[in-house]
Chains A and B, each alone.
Chain A
Amino acid sequence: GIQVEQSPPDLILQEGANSTLRCNFSDSVNNLQWFHQNPWGQLINLFYIPSGTKQNGRLSATTVATERYSLLYISSSQTTDSGVYFCAVDSGGGADGLTFGKGTHLIIQP
């Protein structure tokens, strides 16, 4: 099956800092999603981005499908950005489950 690797596994930053999270995947994908999992376990959709670039406020994402990686940028970090960020992909058509990376655990200190 498809492999998904995320880096770094852990990241500790001060409030106001910028960060870049990386997701590498081993095969071509039809779907790539970035999620933020809050401390209560809720997976919050950030981006659906199998290719190209998107921005939403302080967050933006870029996927270079031909090189099999995606980047999530967080600017001007806030303490509420803390949590685990997952990249998840599927490579099939139709209704296939997502394969998740191991996540990046982000801690934003005040």
Chain B
Amino acid sequence: DTEVTQTPKHLVMGMTNKKSLKCEQHMGHRAMYWYKQKAKKPPELMFVYSYEKLSINESVPSRFSPECPNSSLLNLHLHALQPEDSALYLCASSQQGWANIQYFGAGTRLSVL
């Protein structure tokens, strides 16, 4: 099973709302990732968690707050977003080591009004 599950699939929020994106994997992977993909652009890395610790933050604004409660779960908390934050948010996981193959979820399509 190489499944990464993301919820919700779609999310519409206002600029004053607080919402969370959820990502789950049961492959025993120890690294999890958040990527952001704008329309007609490639995915761009936001955060990396390795063994439940934040290891990479690609200078993401503080209105995006990641959380890794355990090795299977990854959350992205959203607060005071801007319309330009509207995008597809993709979660991935990988087994660190020699073949660090990343597997992606189907994404959450976010619209900020």
B106 lies within 8 A of A103 (CB) = no
Contacting pair B48 A40 (CB below 8 A): no
Task: Flag B38-64 by CB within 8 Å of A: 1 or 0 each.
Answer: 000111110011100001101000000
Is B107 part of the contact surface with A, judged by Cβ < 8 Å? yes
Q: How far is the CA of A95 from the CA of B2 in the complex (A)?
A: 18
A95-B94, A96-B56, A97-B33 known; A33 vs B102 contact (CB < 8 Å): yes
A96 to B106, CA, bound (A): 20
Q: Cβ of A97 and Cβ of B42 under 8 Å apart?
A: no
A94 located at the interface, meaning its Cβ lies under 8 Å from any Cβ of chain B in the complex: yes
How far apart sit A95 and B93, CA to CA, in the bound complex (Å)? Answer: 9
- Closest chain-B Cβ to A104's Cβ sits at a distance in Å of 11
**Residue from the list A86, A90, A99 in contact with B100, Cβ < 8 A:** A90
Contact (Cβ within 8 A) A100 B56: no
B55 nearest CB neighbor, chain A only: A95
Q: Is the CB of A101 within 8 A of B50?
A: no
Q: Are B96 and A45 in contact (CB under 8 A)?
A: no
B103 touches A100 (CB 8 A): no
Q: State the interface size on chain B (CB cutoff 8 A).
A: 31
Q: With A30-B100, A42-B104 in contact, do A103 and B37 touch (Cβ < 8 Å)?
A: no
A-B contact count (CB 8 A): 70
Residues of B within 8 A of A96 (CB): 48, 56, 100
Q: Are B42 and A95 in contact (CB under 8 A)?
A: no
Binding site of B, secondary structure by majority: helix, strand, loop or mixed? strand
A31 — nearest CB in chain B belongs to which residue?
B100
Question: In the complex, are the beta carbons of B96 and A94 less than 8 A apart?
Answer: yes
Which one, B31, B35, B37, B58, contacts A95 given CB within 8 A?
B31
A97→B35 contact, CB < 8 A = yes
Chain A residues with Cβ under 8 A from B56's Cβ?
95-97
A41 to B90, CA, bound (A): 9
B90/A43 in contact, CB under 8 A: yes
**A101 surroundings in chain B (CB, below 8 A):** 42
Q: Can you list 22 A-B pairs with a CB-CB distance of less than 8 A? A: A31-B99, A31-B100, A31-B102, A42-B106, A42-B107, A43-B43, A43-B90, A48-B99, A86-B43, A88-B102, A94-B55, A94-B96, A95-B30, A95-B48, A95-B49, A96-B56, A98-B43, A100-B43, A100-B44, A101-B42, A102-B42, A103-B42
